[in-house]
């Protein structure tokens, strides 16, 4: 396959049609948009900076407890385990892997599995969607049923799956991709809840979450000039702290909607001020008129939201093609 090189131009990416060919065809773009059509910027946003404040549970709930289940009947992958964790895997590339860190709907989310089915052939990678909720499942119907939605306690849910609890699992899964499965390049994309984890995997200081034996391996790995992962992408990330941004040491892409009280204007501006000073490639993409959750729970019947989720999918595909195939 002829690989894309930065800066991107319109080139054909081979895409294998799925049986039936009707699974969210509106997400399948056979061409990558030109660079000037993706609105990529690396300079600070024009919003005025203010110190990042803690996001309330109510705000998390308002953003996370919404969205659409995309129309899909079949999936291309299979269920397995890595690092002892339930995993949806699709693709057959033995050298390149992408780890998806899920949003609030978890590893069984049909929308995320569909995205994995797109990333695998379009990025020429094997894609892993791992369960980082310890088997707890939030049914997609929860977002559409007013009674279930009212009963869903986001604060308690996040407390059960906080960074100190799930961090070791995230790092164990990422480590397994290279150390146990032998992948040469690994990319990570985190949606909403998965944003903090993607930043930590792409940083210099995340080893603190690992068990002692794994910690020794990770420190040794960094000392000989390797990274645990090779590139990260985040879409409407949640629970990200400035220290995690400061520590980024691999190419980073941010897919940021206009309306997002969680990845708020202050934190957006902080990223756009700090990351360009870190010596890593940086792709900040702004999505006007869209809100938190658009990349995984957008309404495909709404033209603006459909365009946004298509563009986000294509941007991530191109990012990983550029940074995992060289």
Phi, psi angle pair for 230, to nearest 5°? -110, -20
Q: What are the residues whose beta carbons fall under 8 Å from the beta carbon of 168, sequence distance 6 or more?
A: 209, 210, 211
Q: How far apart are CA 88 and CA 109, in angstroms?
A: 10
Q: Look-up: residue for tokens 């269920």?
A: 79
Lowest-pLDDT range of 49-63, 78-92, 230-244: 49-63
For 235, half-sphere exposure in the C-beta direction (CA atoms, 13 angstrom radius) is 31
Closest by CA position to 27, among listed 322, 320, 316, 307: 307
Identify the band that residue 217 occupies on the pLDDT scale cut at 50, 70 and 90: very low
Q: Which among 118, 29, 132, 4 has a CA at the least distance from the CA of 70?
A: 118
| C-alpha dihedral sign at 321, 86, 110, 15 | positive
Provide the strand spans (E) within 49-194.
78-82, 85-90, 96-101, 126-130, 185-191
d(CA 278, CA 274): 7
pLDDT value for 224: 37
> How confident is the prediction for the chain on average, in pLDDT?
77
At 98-122, the pLDDT tens digits run 999 999 888 999 999 999 999 999 9
DSSP 142: G
Tokens of 300: 């495909």
Non-local (6+) Cβ contacts of 103 within 8 A are 64, 109, 112, 191, 192, 193, 194, 293, 296, 297
Q: How confident is the model at residue 226 (pLDDT cuts 50, 70, 90)?
A: low
Task: Kindly state the average pLDDT of the residues 148-176.
Answer: 87
Q: Walk me through the domains of the chain, giving residue ranges and CATH numbers.
A: 41-324 (3.40.50.1820)
**By the 8 A CB rule, do 95 and 184 touch?**
yes
pLDDT > 90? residue 271: yes
Residue 176 pLDDT exceeds 60: yes
In the three-class reduction of DSSP (H, G, I as helix; E, B as strand; rest coil), residue 12 is classed as strand
Given a contact cutoff of 8 angstroms between Cβ atoms, the answer to whether 284 and 315 are in contact is no
**51-85 pLDDT per residue, tens:** 443 344 344 444 443 444 456 778 999 999 999 99
Tokens of 92: 């057959």
- Residues above pLDDT 70, as percent of the chain: 71
**Is pLDDT of 283 > 60?**
yes
Q: Which residue has the higher pLDDT, 96 or 219?
A: 96
User: Residue 136 in 3-state DSSP?
Assistant: coil
DSSP string, 157-203: HHHHT-HHHHHHHHHHHHHHHHHTT--SEEEEEEETTHHHHHHHHTB
Q: Which carries the bigger pLDDT value, residue 145 or residue 255?
A: 255
pLDDT exceeds 50 at position 15: no
In the DSSP assignment, the letter for residue 18 is: P
C-alpha to C-alpha distance for 24 and 324, rounded to whole angstroms: 26
Is the distance from CB of 207 to CB of 171 less than 8 angstroms?
yes
Identify the weakest region by mean pLDDT among 3-7, 124-128, 131-135, 187-191: 3-7
Where do we find the tokens 């400035």?
Answer: 242
Q: How many CA atoms lie within 13 A of 158 on its CB side?
A: 20
Predicted confidence band at 289 (pLDDT cuts at 50, 70, 90)? very high
Residue 309 to residues 25, 298, 303: CA-CA distances in angstroms? 13, 7, 10
Q: For residue 13, give the nearest of 128, 126, 118 by alpha carbon.
A: 118
Tell me what the mean pLDDT of segment 304-318 comes to: 95
């Amino acid at each position: 396959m002829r690989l894309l090189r930065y800066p991107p131009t319109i080139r054909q990416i081979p895409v294998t049609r799925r049986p039936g060919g009707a699974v969210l065809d509106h997400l399948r773009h056979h061409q990558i948009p030109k660079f000037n059509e993706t609105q990529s910027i690396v300079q600070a946003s024009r919003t005025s900076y203010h110190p990042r404040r803690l996001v309330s549970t109510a705000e998390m709930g308002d953003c996370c407890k919404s969205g659409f289940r995309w129309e899909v009947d079949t999936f291309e992958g299979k269920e397995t385990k890595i690092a002892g964790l339930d995993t949806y895997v699709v693709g057959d590339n033995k050298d390149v892997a992408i780890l998806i860190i899920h949003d609030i709907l978890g590893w069984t989310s049909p929308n995320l599995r569909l995205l994995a089915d797109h990333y695998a052939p379009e990025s020429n990678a094997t894609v892993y969607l791992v369960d980082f909720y310890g088997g707890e499942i939030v049914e997609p119907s929860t977002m559409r049923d007013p009674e279930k939605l009212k009963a869903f306690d986001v604060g308690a849910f996040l407390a059960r799956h906080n960074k100190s609890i799930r961090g070791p699992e995230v790092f164990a899964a990422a480590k397994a991709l290279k150390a146990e499965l032998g992948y040469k390049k690994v990319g990570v994309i985190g949606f909403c809840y998965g944003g903090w984890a993607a930043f930590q995997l792409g940083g210099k200081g995340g080893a603190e979450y690992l068990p002692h034996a794994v910690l020794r391996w990770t420190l040794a790995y960094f000392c000989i000039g390797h990274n645990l992962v090779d590139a990260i992408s985040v879409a409407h990330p949640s629970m990200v702290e400035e220290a995690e941004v400061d520590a980024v040491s691999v190419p980073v892409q941010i897919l940021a909607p206009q309306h997002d009280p969680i990845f708020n204007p202050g934190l957006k501006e902080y990223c756009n001020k700090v990351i360009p000073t870190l010596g890593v490639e940086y792709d900040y993409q702004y999505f006007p008129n869209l809100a938190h959750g658009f990349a995984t729970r957008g309404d495909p019947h709404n033209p603006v939201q459909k365009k946004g989720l298509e563009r986000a999918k294509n941007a991530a595909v191109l990012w990983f093609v550029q940074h995992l195939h060289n």
